[in-house]
A and B are shown apart, each in its own frame.
Chain A
Amino acid sequence: MATALTWVDVTAHRPLLSTSNYMPSPASVIAVNAPSTDSTDPSQHRVSGMRRGWITALIVGAPLVLAGCNAYPSYGADPGATKQGNDTFKLYSGMMTTGIVIGGLVAVLILWTVVRYRRRSDEMPKQFHENLPIEILYTAVPVIIVGVLFFFTVLTENNVDATQPVNASVTSTGRPVVDITVTAFQWGWRFDYTGLNVGVVGETTNGPNNHGPQMVVPAGETIQITLVSNDTIHGFYLRDFNFSRYAQPGVTNIFDLNVLHTGTYDGQCTQFCGLYHSEMLFSIRSVTPSAFDTWASAEVTAGHTLQGSPSGVSNIPAPNTRTTPADAGSSVASSATPKQKASA
């Protein structure tokens, strides 16, 4: 704050313009982002300079104070129930803070200009039309800002998109990465646990309390999702994971999820896929690793295997056909699990 104030006072009224000296404040406001350049006569017009400095301090300071209460203010988003989602959340939060500060500065500058220069007389205003130093400044500073944003974007993006080789690695608990093939179809989801020989499938039903099929995963371990579709494009999206990816015919998408805690998380198809798009729900239930083992063997015992369920990618119902829940096969047991919002 002190930086902003001092700098505004020092430089706000340097005669930057060749045509006019009407244009000090954009420089001072923009310069808060890059308080580095110069210093000249600080004595002129100190009063209005201080007033502008105060305004600047307020508009820069308020979001910073707000942001200061919490390292990562949420701005309406979820902190992220996965390692990847939490990385995304931090990036979102930081970018939103930057956006609010810069957007707020510009908004206040617009409103202040509108109020300050409202017509108060018939006197003709000064007819200046350019100021190269200021124009260069407000070209260069945004380049630096987006450069910084891009840097953090790439770091986060690499974390979010990083995948572990399924066979080569084991998680901290000594188990191989849990490999799940997710097949989206009109209108439902199928989850095949390739390494565990478990298959879960569920279709939408037209009921208000149906939350679609449920994927059970071990908390704290790496899950690798292989996402495919055989009909239209669907969106695999979980709000709590801060993540979505298209399921597309002809494309196989692979990504890792590390669910941090036990709990149940709602998911939904986000890419418009036809008539019943609104009802294409699913959920992910994250349980302790030992509970996961128990669940997996119980599913195999109950016959919910890759072969036991309507199996494999090729047996997905054809487009535009809707089956009743009873037709959806033996695995309905798991898809009909009542929604439970357990928290960690």
Chain B
Amino acid sequence: MTTTIERPEVITPEELGGPDGHHPDAHRGDADHGHHEGPSGIVNWLTSTDHKVIGKSYMITSLVTFFLAGIMAVVIRAQLLDPHTSLVSYQTYNELFTMHGSLMLYLFAGPFAFGGLANYIVPLQVGAPDMAFPRLNALSYWLYLGGVITMLSGFLVAGGAASFGWVAYAPLSNATNSPGAGSDLWLMALALTGFSAIFTGVNLVATILYLRAPGMTMFRVPVFSWNMLVTAILILIAFPVLFAAVVLLFCDRHFGTHIFSVQGGGSPILWQHLFWFFGHPEVYILALPYFGMVTDILPVFSRKPVFGYKGMVFATMSIAALSTGVWAHHMFTTGVVLLPFFSLLSYLIAVPTGIKFFNWIGTMWGGQLSFQTPMMFSIGFLLIFLVGGVTGVLLASPPVDFMTHDTYFVVAHFHNVLIGTAVFAGFAGFYFWYPKMFGRMLREGLGKLHFWFLFVGFWVAFMPQYLLGLHGMPRRVASYAPDTGWTTLNVISTLGSYIIAFSFLFFLVNLVVSWRKPVPAGPNPWDGHGLEWFTSSPPPHHNYTHLPPIRSERPTWDYNHPEHRTVVHKPKDKKSTSPQGDKQAVGAPS
């Protein structure tokens, strides 16, 4: 292995303090690189500040909460199979939907993205040896794990888990209406995971702004990392407000304050304002990372650069900015918010989201598309999120919101959005980066079975819910009257939820198979674009011993395909090619 082209921006191993080496292939399977890594095994896991170890811990923990919340969803659906099924009591049902929503939103969708994948991938993408504050990063994870355990322990206490919905509207969440310790545990869990998110947000901002490799200018940062920067800023805007609201509610419950109660001169509406000022940015904290994953995956499987890179970045920023001004569209039916203002801003979010859609299509346009599992999940995301986006535009209209608010129409809408992002795009990212994280491939056949069952199950489960909402079925009901005519649609929806649950068996089998009979991934199994594909899988302790020149947002591609590299800022010379042809891609299947 020799360096064939003069590359002045290459960082030499000496600069990084590494021992030697010229090509990442030379380091495959060699995770040590002369660093003293300290203890191994469980002690290593407990004490590690390595972003890769913490990222994997986050990912495993969040997937466990995902499966627990998914099992709750199946029980909820089974309860609604016919009008008076009494599989579980009203009280248990109320606990189940509260915990399903709380686990999915607070403990899976967010942490899986910004604690799991972003924690692992962002330092690699920007060419950093670790997160900016490794110990803070470890603290984030342990706070998060504490939050998960605290929230789940609600099921063990007298009175059961919290049962006021994941939004905990005052005054239902006060000490009179929800007296149990489960409610307090729920609040504490939010405080713990809230701080975990804030610390991760600080870490991501610092890492992306200050630890980029030489040559990695802001406009060469991959869109996933860009989206994580913007997400982290949104976290810093939103989560402190949630924390404040949680503390105020706790004071109301235990210290005799009347912040959210009318009797003491307080205002229940204040809770909704505080909660949704967190809650709507939260929706984009859950969505933007997943947009970023898809934006990184589509170009790789199209063999093209992302279309409209800067448009993507500005669209992300616009969505984030608008998302801080639309919270009251969750409160249209309260009768106390300025409808046109929040309606217009909500509508406007459709514009940058539309830009993203057309950019995604433009990325695939004219490409050579191959349909490995991450690509299938990404296309599934496009189609499912599209429907969620269209129904979202409808809900931005206050009169349409009046007719559908708190019905299954809204339930279908946000599952369309959140399953499109956190599940379809999330698993696209998981299948895409799993080889990088574990150095082994997942099986394509099982991955595609997972995709198709999930994709079909999704439509069967959630399309009927739009109709149920339009036929008047409210959300969060444990039973309904037989003469409402909702039974058939509920049966179909429940069937769909079973198909979704079944699809994850293929996922679990895939994990086991990849673990039992590993197929080595090599550094770059997909002919990837970002910097992360330049180093070994899994990367060595400090990620890189040397780097390729970084002249675009896809340095690994440029290195492997000099004849087809991205040339920007040279408008007169766009078709220039370098004299020699493509090299064999680093580790790519030939």
Q: A residues engaging B (CB < 8 A)?
A: 18-20, 22-23, 25-26, 30, 75-78, 85, 87-89, 91-92, 95-96, 99-100, 102-103, 106-107, 109-111, 113-114, 117-131, 134-135, 138-139, 142-143, 146, 149-150, 153-154, 156-157, 160-161, 208-209, 211, 231-233, 235, 237, 239, 242-246, 248-251, 253, 255, 266, 268-279, 281, 319-320, 339
The residues of B that contact A77 with a CB separation of less than 8 Å are 403, 470
Query: Which single member of B91, B343, B366 contacts A275 (CB below 8 Å)?
Result: B91
Q: Considering the chains assembled together, what is the distance between the CA atoms of A278 and B89 in angstroms? A: 12
Instruction: Pick from B83, B177, B348, B357: contact of A208, CB below 8 A.
Output: B83
Write the B481-497 contact mask toward A (1 if CB under 8 angstroms, else 0). 11110000000000000
Q: How far is the CA of A117 from the CA of B302 in the complex (A)?
A: 8
A208 to B383, CA, bound (A): 40
Contact of B262 among A92, A125, A139, A249 (CB under 8 A): A249
Contact present for B343 and A233 (CB under 8 Å)? no
Max chain A Cβ within 10 angstroms of own Cβ: one of B172, B365, B393, B399:
B399
Chain A residues contacting B333 (CB-CB under 8 Å) are 235, 244-246
Interchain nearest-CB distance for B573 vs A (Å): 11
Q: B402 contacts which of A88, A128, A131, A273 (Cβ < 8 Å)?
A: A88
Closest to A207 in B: B481
Q: Is B519 an interface residue (CB 8 A)?
A: no
Which stretch of B206-214, B283-291, B307-315, B450-458 is in the interface? B307-315
7 residue pairs of the A-B complex, CB under 8 angstroms, read: A23-B366, A114-B379, A119-B303, A233-B268, A237-B407, A249-B262, A319-B176
A266 to B566, CA, bound (A): 62
B100 at the interface (CB under 8 A from A): no
Q: Is B305 located at the chain interface by the 8 A CB criterion?
A: yes
Contact with A along B382-396 (1 / 0, CB 8 A): 110011011101101
The answer to whether B156 has its CB under 8 Å from any CB of chain A is no
Alpha-carbon separation in the docked complex, A211 to B561 (Å):
70
Q: What separation, in Å, do the CA atoms of A320 and B383 have in the docked complex?
A: 45
Q: For chain B, which range describes its interface: under 10, 10 to 19, 20 to 34, or 35 or more residues?
A: 35 or more
B94 touches A (CB below 8 Å): yes
What residues of chain A lie closer than 8 Å to B49, measured between beta carbons? none
> Does B77 sit within 8 A of A, measured CB to CB?
no
Q: Is B44 in contact with chain A by the CB < 8 A criterion?
A: no
In contact, B269 and A127 (Cβ under 8 angstroms): no
Q: Is B475 an interface residue (CB 8 A)?
A: yes
Across the interface, name the chain A residue whose C-beta is closest to B567: A127
Which residue of chain A is the closest to B392 with respect to CB atoms?
Answer: A99
B479: CB under 8 A from chain A? yes
- Chain A residue with the shortest CB-CB distance to B314: A139
Stretch in B53-61, B334-342, B500-508 touching the partner: B334-342
Known: A127-B566, A160-B402, A319-B176. 19 other contacts (CB 8 A): A92-B394, A103-B389, A109-B361, A127-B564, A129-B568, A130-B311, A143-B348, A153-B347, A153-B398, A157-B398, A235-B333, A237-B407, A244-B405, A246-B334, A246-B335, A251-B334, A270-B405, A272-B475, A320-B176
CB of B244 closer than 8 Å to a CB of A:
no
- Does B400 interact with chain A (Cβ within 8 Å)? yes
Contact of B387 among A22, A103, A126 (CB under 8 A): A103
Given A135-B308, A208-B84, A235-B333: A126 and B366 interface contact (C-beta under 8 Å): yes
Q: Is the beta-carbon distance between A76 and B471 smaller than 8 angstroms?
A: yes
**Could you tell me the distance between the alpha carbons of A253 and B307 in the complex, rounded to whole angstroms?**
49
Q: Which of B109-117, B233-241, B367-375 forms part of the interface with chain A?
A: B367-375
A229 CB to closest chain B CB (Å) equals 9
Of residues A87, A107, A114, A121, which shows the largest number of chain B Cβ atoms within 10 Å of its Cβ? A114
Is B443 part of the contact surface with A, judged by Cβ < 8 Å? Answer: no
How near does chain A come to B330, taking the closest CB pair, in angstroms?
A: 11
A244/B403 in contact, CB under 8 A: yes
Cα(A17)–Cα(B368), bound, Å: 19
Query: Which 8 A-B pairs have CB atoms at the shortest separation, nearest pair first?
Result: A239-B472, A22-B366, A270-B406, A242-B403, A76-B470, A278-B477, A253-B335, A129-B305
Contacts of B466 on A, CB cut-off 8 Å? 76
Which residues of A lie under 8 Å from residue B304 when comparing CB positions?
A: 125-129
Partner of B307, one of A120, A128, A154: A128
Name the distance in Å between B45's Cβ and chain A's nearest Cβ.
Answer: 40
- Contact status of A233 and B169, CB under 8 A, knowing A110-B379, A244-B405, A275-B90: yes
